[in-house]
C-alpha cells in the first residue's frame, strides 16, 4: 500500500517537480496539493495523509503558521519542512512548531525522498550541517553569547533579516514574501529595535555579517 502525501508549496514549477518525484516512487503517492495555509489545513483534514511536505514560505504567510494550526487542531501528521534557508534557527523553530523534519531545497532529490521516508517511519530528520549548527547554538546559549541575539526576532522578522543580509532590496523582499513595501519597512523597524541598531546602514551591515557567518 502506498503512503499518501500532501504537498504544500506555492511555487508551481517546484511543486510540479516535487509531485513528479514522489509519484515515480513505487511506495509513495500524492493525494493533494495546496499553495497556502488555509487550503493546506483543509486538504490535510480532508485527505488524512500519512505525511506532508511543506514549504516554509507560503503566500501571505509561512509554513510555521500551518504547523501551529495543525497543533491547535490536534491533527497528528508527520511534516517534512522544505526551505531555501540553511540557517538552523528556521529548523529549530519548525521542530518546535511540530515538524518532524527539515531539509533545504538545494539538496538532491534522492536526499529529499530519504528525508520523507525517515519522517514516515516516525523518525526526526535533520541534515548533519543543520544539526551541528543547532548544537553550536545550544552551547552559545549556555555561555550567553551574542549569537543568540537573533533569536529575539519573530519568524517573519528572521526571514526579512536573512534576505537583507543576502543583499535583497525592500521591493525584492516584498515580492519574495508577498507583502507590501510598507510591511517590509515595518519589519525592518522592528528588527532594528530588537537588535538595538541605530540606522539602516547598521542593519544591512549586521545582516550581511550574520549571513556570511552562517555559510
pLDDT digits (tens, 9 = 90+) for 65-74: 899 899 899 9
CA distances from 98 to 34, 60, 152 (A): 19, 21, 20
Domains of the chain: 3-128 (3.40.50.2300), 153-214 (1.10.10.10)
Residue 24 CB neighbour total at 10 angstroms: 10
Q: What is the pLDDT of residue 65?
A: 86
First to last CA, the chain: 41
Q: For residue 27, which phi and psi values (nearest 5 degrees)?
A: -105, 5
pLDDT digits (tens, 9 = 90+) for 169-207: 999 998 888 789 999 999 999 999 999 898 989 998 888
Residue 109 has pLDDT above 80, yes or no: yes
% of the chain beyond a pLDDT of 70:
90
CA distances from 27 to 6, 14, 24, 103 (A): 14, 21, 9, 21
Q: How many CA atoms lie within 13 A of 140 on its CB side?
A: 13
Task: Show Cβ contacts of residue 85 under 8 Å, excluding neighbours closer than 6 positions.
Answer: 56, 104, 159, 162
Residue 100 has pLDDT above 90, yes or no: yes
Round to whole Å and give the CA distance between 118 and 204: 38
Q: What is the pLDDT of residue 19?
A: 97
Amino acid at each position: 500500500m502506498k503512503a499518501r502525501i500532501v504537498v504544500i508549496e506555492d511555487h508551481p514549477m517546484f511543486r510540479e517537480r516535487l509531485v513528479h518525484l514522489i509519484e515515480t516512487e513505487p511506495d509513495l503517492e500524492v493525494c493533494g496539493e495546496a499553495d497556502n495555509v488555509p487550503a493546506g489545513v483543509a486538504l490535510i483534514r480532508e485527505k488524512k495523509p500519512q505525511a506532508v511536505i511543506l514549504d516554509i514560505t507560503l503566500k501571505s504567510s509561512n509554513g510555521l503558521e500551518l504547523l501551529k494550526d495543525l497543533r491547535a487542531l490536534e491533527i497528528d501528521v508527520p511534516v517534512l519542512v522544505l526551505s531555501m534557508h540553511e540557517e538552523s534557527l528556521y529548523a529549530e523553530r519548525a521542530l518546535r512548531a511540530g515538524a518532524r523534519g527539515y531539509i533545504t531545497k538545494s539538496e538532491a532529490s534522492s536526499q529529499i525522498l530519504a528525508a520523507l521516508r525517515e519522517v514516515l517511519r516516525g523518525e526526526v530528520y535533520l541534515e548533519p550541517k543543520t544539526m551541528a549548527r543547532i548544537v553550536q547554538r545550544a552551547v552559545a546559549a549556555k555561555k550567553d553569547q551574542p549569537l543568540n541575539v537573533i533569536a529575539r526576532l519573530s519568524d517573519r522578522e528572521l526571514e526579512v533579516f536573512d534576505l537583507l543580509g543576502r543583499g535583497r532590496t525592500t521591493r525584492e523582499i516584498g515580492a519574495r514574501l508577498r507583502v507590501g513595501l510598507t510591511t517590509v519597512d515595518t519589519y525592518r523597524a522592528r528588527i532594528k529595535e530588537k537588535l538595538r541598531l541605530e540606522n539602516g546602514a547598521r542593519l544591512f551591515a549586521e545582516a550581511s555579517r550574520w549571513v556570511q557567518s552562517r555559510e
